[in-house]
């Protein structure tokens, strides 16, 4: 038997999070899973059990509401004891064109992808600080690297997450707590279903990348790796050219 890791997954019904969890389940990991949809959460929990997880508990919560976040941290710490890995995975994507005239929908994108993610990252960071160890993993996106007219509500929310996690990394590095920012390109999950996106990756390849990055205590992961180069090029394009080019 390998060293059993204790893993909290927030937004555990996400396809990418489930893909990562499957890999850790093979190593007999222990899980505390949090998600909004009770039925889907039960399916994920059952699947991880079947894949040799040594322990799985579940907690249902709408992650958009920060007033519930202290309770989520209390549940995870009370349930798992010492936590090795916290993965923040929930997210909401809407077509930009559908929300171009809808400020409330735009703010919902921010509430789920930015405010809620940052609130949970902050609170779990403090919990890991208290125990003096662990890894915090946040699923951001390459979409956060540059404001694109076709995706700027979601992209700017992810941008906030990326910057917040970067600052947290600096704060926690001296304490031995690792903060990993995951920057996937398009991945074939329910979030992208029905969208025609270039260079779509599979959940399985992205999940392997994420697990390897967690285990090697990497700081920033572009997945698949070629996105590091693509984004370096896109970031270098002057704003006037970038916006006229209609990326
Ligand atoms: N797929 C991609 O191309 C891609 C690319 C870059 C980054 N990402 C990021 O990777 C993460 C995982 O995405 P995915 O592709 O695995 O998407 P997914 O399978 O569609 O999962 C998204 C998850 O977020 C949850 N969620 C949304 N709003 C919530 C709320 N208010 N409260 C609780 N849970 C909520 C959903 O729960 P319900 O099932 O209850 O709706 C679902 O479990 C997200 O942060 C996403 O932004 C994805």
Q: What is the pLDDT of residues 70-119, one digit of tens each?
A: 999 999 999 999 999 999 999 999 999 999 999 999 999 999 999 999 99
Residue in 191, 200, 222, 224 to alter for ligand 1 test, most ligand atoms within 8 A of Cβ: 191
* 135-139: strand order across its sheet: 55-60, 30-35, 6-10, 85-88, 135-139, 178-184, 220-223
Residue with CA closest to ligand 1 atom 31 = 64
Q: What SS3 state is found at 84?
A: coil
Spacing, Cα 91 to ligand 1 middle (Å) = 4
Spacing, Cα 17 to ligand 1 middle (Å) = 9
Q: What is the distance between the alpha carbons of residues 53 and 50, in angstroms, rounded to a whole number?
A: 7
Residue in 10, 12, 13, 14 to alter for ligand 1 test, most ligand atoms within 8 A of Cβ: 14
Label residue 246 by pLDDT band (50, 70, 90).
confident
Q: What is the distance between the alpha carbons of residues 152 and 156, in angstroms, rounded to a whole number?
A: 6
Q: Is the pLDDT of residue 1 over 80?
A: no
Angle between helices 69-80 and 116-131 (to 10 degrees): 40
pLDDT at 134: 98
Q: What is the distance between the alpha carbons of residues 146 and 37, in angstroms, rounded to a whole number?
A: 32
Token couple for 101: 């005239």
Query: Residue 88 pairs with which residues in a beta bridge?
Result: 10, 138
pLDDT at 41: 98
Torsion of CA 114, 116, 118, 122, to 10 degrees: 180
Cβ atoms of residues 30 and 57 within 8 Å: no
* pLDDT, tens digit, 9 for 90 and up, residues 177-235: 999 999 999 999 999 998 878 899 999 999 999 999 999 999 999 999 999 999 999 99
pLDDT at 198: 85
* pLDDT, tens digit, 9 for 90 and up, residues 28-70: 999 999 999 999 999 999 999 999 999 999 999 999 999 999 9
- The answer, yes or no, to whether any atom of ligand 1 lies below 6 A from the CB of 178, is no
Q: Is the pLDDT of residue 137 over 70?
A: yes
pLDDT at 9: 98
pLDDT at 194: 81
Query: Residue 117 pairs with which residues in a beta bridge?
Result: none
Domains and CATH numbers, the chain: 6-244 (3.40.50.720)
- The answer, yes or no, to whether any atom of ligand 1 lies below 6 A from the CB of 94, is no
Q: Is the pTM for the entire model greater than 0.95?
A: yes
Q: What SS3 state is found at 150?
A: coil
Q: What mean pLDDT do residues 6-10 have?
A: 98
Q: What SS3 state is found at 231?
A: helix
Cβ atoms of residues 209 and 224 within 8 Å: yes
Q: What is the distance between the alpha carbons of residues 46 and 50, in angstroms, rounded to a whole number?
A: 6
- The kind and range of the H/E element at 6 are strand 6-10
Closest of 110, 96, 118 to residue 162, by C-alpha: 118
Label residue 11 by pLDDT band (50, 70, 90).
very high
Q: What is the distance between the alpha carbons of residues 211 and 209, in angstroms, rounded to a whole number?
A: 6
């Amino acid at each position: 038997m390998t060293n059993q890791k204790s893993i909290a997954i927030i937004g555990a019904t996400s396809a990418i999070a489930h893909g990562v969890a499957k890999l850790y389940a093979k190593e007999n990991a222990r899980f505390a899973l949090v998600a909004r949809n009770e039925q889907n959460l039960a399916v994920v929990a059952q699947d991880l059990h079947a894949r040799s997880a040594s322990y799985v508990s579940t907690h249902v919560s709408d992650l958009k509401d920060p007033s519930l976040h202290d309770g989520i941290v209390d549940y995870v710490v009370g349930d798992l004891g010492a936590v090795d890995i916290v993965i923040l995975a929930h997210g909401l994507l809407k077509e930009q064109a559908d929300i171009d005239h809808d400020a409330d929908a735009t703010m919902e994108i921010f509430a789920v992808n930015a405010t809620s993610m940052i609130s949970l990252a902050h609170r779990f960071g403090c919990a890991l600080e208290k125990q003096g160890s662990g890894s915090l993993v946040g699923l951001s996106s390459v979409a956060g690297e540059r404001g694109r007219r076709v995706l700027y509500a979601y992209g700017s929310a992810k941008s906030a997450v990326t910057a917040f996690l970067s600052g947290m990394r600096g704060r926690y590095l001296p304490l031995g707590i690792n903060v990993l920012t995951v920057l996937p390109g398009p991945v074939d999950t329910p979030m992208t279903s029905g969208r025609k996106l270039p260079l779509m990756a599979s959940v399985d390849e992205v999940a392997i990348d994420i697990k390897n990055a967690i285990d090697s205590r990497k700081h920033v992961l572009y997945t698949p790796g070629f996105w590091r180069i693509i984004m370096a090029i896109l970031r270098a394009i002057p704003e006037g050219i970038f916006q006229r080019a209609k990326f």
